[in-house]
Amino acid sequence: MDNLDVQVWAVDALGALAHETRLSVFRMLVKAGPDGMIAGAIADQQRVPPSTMSHHLAMLERAGLVRSERESRLIHYRTDYAGMRRLLTFLMQDCCQGAPEMCGDLLGGLACTGATA
């Protein structure tokens, strides 16, 4: 994928996150980890009607930030970690401009509580 294609994709991904509900859902799915959540539970927690939530989840999925998997009658949503890393890499790839100390503590604000690999 060339730089223009990556930039177009990044604009779509950022556009999908540029809505209060979708940003909140994305963060909820990141927090849920690899297990993800069922669509109905997401809608309930966000206090959004299921049809409206389906629209939001579809936008996040088209942007490459979440994945869905049908399990019988339920749809399970998970963060697409590869898509999330791709977006973060795009945003940060030119950060340092030869001065790595500028970005050195960028991840220091993360409070990951899960097991480390």
Q: What percent of the chain has pLDDT over 70?
A: 85
C-alpha span between 98 and 83 (Å, rounded): 26
pTM over the 0.85 mark:
no
Q: Which two tokens stand for residue 32?
A: 């849920």
Average pLDDT rounded to a whole number, residues 13-23: 97
Q: What are the tens digits of pLDDT across the range 81-93?
A: 999 999 988 888 8
Q: Are 96 and 102 in contact (CB under 8 A)?
A: yes
All domains in the chain, ordered by first residue:
3-90 (1.10.10.10)
C-alpha span between 90 and 100 (Å, rounded): 16
> What value does the CA radius of gyration of the chain take, rounded to a whole number of Å?
16
Find the angle CA(3)-CA(110)-CA(85) to the nearest 5 degrees.
Answer: 25
The pLDDT assigned to 3 comes to 72
